[in-house]
Structure 1
Amino acid sequence: MPAKQASTTGKRADAQRNIAAILDAATECLGRDPAASTSEIAKAAGVGRVTLYGHFPSRAELLDAVFVHAIEDGEEALAQVDLTGDPRDALTQLIESSWRLVDRYRSLLIAAQNTLPPGRVRELHADPMARVEKLIERGRKQGAFRKDLPTSWLVGVMHNVMHGAADEITAGRVTPDKAAAYITTTILAAFTPPGDRVPD
């Protein structure tokens, strides 16, 4: 391999290592404090601010990248959830798995909501929301979920209840161990066809 090519390859490898270190440090720092500064993140990553800004020119761009990374990790976990069988049971499992992710990245979500445009935060949730939409559609066809409201509205309800639970925990009004049950009860009641008995 020519010396110039080896040098370029080495620089690329260094850049990838730096980016990975910055994203890991940002996830950790923002997980502790949604207002963590880029200086704190650079120090935790073991790089200078110049290096950090070389890869992420603004705090918003860094936050966007960290949130994308968190969503991708979450998607790997959610892909393992069995969504076959009774739609209500599948929904309960999906809520429990989704809530564990929301709770884990709760501070990161606050940082994203405080920095990124609302439309961008919702856009980054597109894949998880598509999974919910598909399950709701199946449940509607089987008579398990209500048909008098649009699927998009029901998806939005679940999304907002999840994020509302995170806000309630941050405010100290709900404990993390009770949130999943509260969310499940609320969502099943909201999704049950009018006149039908709400599942226990």
Structure 2
Amino acid sequence: MPTSAAGPRRRADAERSIARIVAAARETLSGDPSASVDDVAKAAGVGRMTLYGHFRTRAELVEAALTDALRAGEEALSAVDLTGGARDALARLLDSSWSLVAESAALLTAAQGTLPAGRVRKLHAAPAKRVEDLIRRGQDEGVFRTDLPLTWLVNVVHYVLQGAAEENRAKRLKREDTARVVTATVQSILAAPSEGPNGTR
């Protein structure tokens, strides 16, 4: 007869399998948003049947990967000091966490072709709001431009991050240079028209 510990052991094994698959999905889809279920299964070291035993569709797998990445990103981003001037706070945010945001951006690309638009917006709401709040704060301080729609500026920041991730994948931009390049690009885009990219008048 099976022991009473068999059930908990099976659950623990399943949880480890799910964690391994989700981690593989994050890495695989970040590198190639069009990666297949087979690609993820291979990266996770499991068979298709095992993967489909936990995730019935590619959409479920993509959502699990995106949700996990956003959770990890939220933990990291919430630890960044955003006090003080908005320009410096945004620089710290980009410098310390651009790679997490870029990963989420790549996963969003995968999700946009798989999940309903409303679900994608809901999952991405918290990271987008953090950037939006910083830009609005900078506008109130007079250091960020107000001549363009706020939602457009938020999206531009994410476009820059997506571009940085793509340049990394293509090895056209060194990883150690990316934070500096991203920060300089975003700061120049957001600078109030009367100011230069470094805040000089």
Task: State the alpha-carbon separation in 2 of the partners of residues 113 and 176 from structure 1.
Answer: 26
* TM-score computed with the length of structure 1 as normaliser: 0.78
Task: State the alpha-carbon separation in 2 of the partners of residues 32 and 158 from structure 1.
Answer: 20
User: Given residue 95 of structure 1, which amino acid in structure 2 is its aligned partner?
Assistant: L
Q: Kindly indicate whether the alpha-carbon contact (under 8 Å) linking 1:30 and 1:111 is maintained by their aligned counterparts in 2.
A: yes
The alpha-carbon distance between structure 1 residues 112 and 188, as it changes in their structure 2 partners (threshold 3 A), is: same
Task: State the alpha-carbon separation in 1 of the partners of residues 181 and 43 from structure 2.
Answer: 36
Between 27-36 and 152-161, the greater mean CA deviation after superposition: 27-36
Q: How many pairs does the alignment contain?
A: 198
Between 100-109 and 163-172, the greater mean CA deviation after superposition: 100-109
The alpha-carbon distance between structure 1 residues 42 and 184, as it changes in their structure 2 partners (threshold 3 A), is: closer
Q: How does 1:1-200 map to 2 (within 5 A)?
A: 12-30=11-29, 37-39=36-38, 41-42=40-41, 45=44, 47-102=46-101, 111-112=110-111, 115-116=114-115, 121-199=120-198
Deviations 1:159-198 (A, max 9, x none): 1111112222333432222222222122111211111233
Q: Kindly indicate whether the alpha-carbon contact (under 8 Å) linking 2:69 and 2:103 is maintained by their aligned counterparts in 1.
A: no
Cα offset, 1:104, TM superposition = 5.9
User: Given residue 154 of structure 1, which amino acid in structure 2 is its aligned partner?
Assistant: L
User: Given residue 69 of structure 1, which amino acid in structure 2 is its aligned partner?
Assistant: D
* TM-score computed with the length of structure 2 as normaliser: 0.78
Stretches of structure 1 that go unaligned for 5 or more consecutive residues are none
User: Given residue 171 of structure 1, which amino acid in structure 2 is its aligned partner?
Assistant: A
- Secondary structure of the corresponding residue to residue 92 of structure 1: helix
Task: State the alpha-carbon separation in 1 of the partners of residues 34 and 189 from structure 2.
Answer: 34
Cα offset, 1:113, TM superposition = 5.8
Between 40-49 and 72-81, the greater mean CA deviation after superposition: 40-49
Deviations 1:46-94 (A, max 9, x none): 6543332122111232122112101111110010100001111111111
Identity between Structure 1 and Structure 2 (%) = 52
Task: State the alpha-carbon separation in 1 of the partners of residues 189 and 61 from structure 2.
Answer: 36
Task: State the alpha-carbon separation in 2 of the partners of residues 169 and 14 from structure 1.
Answer: 35
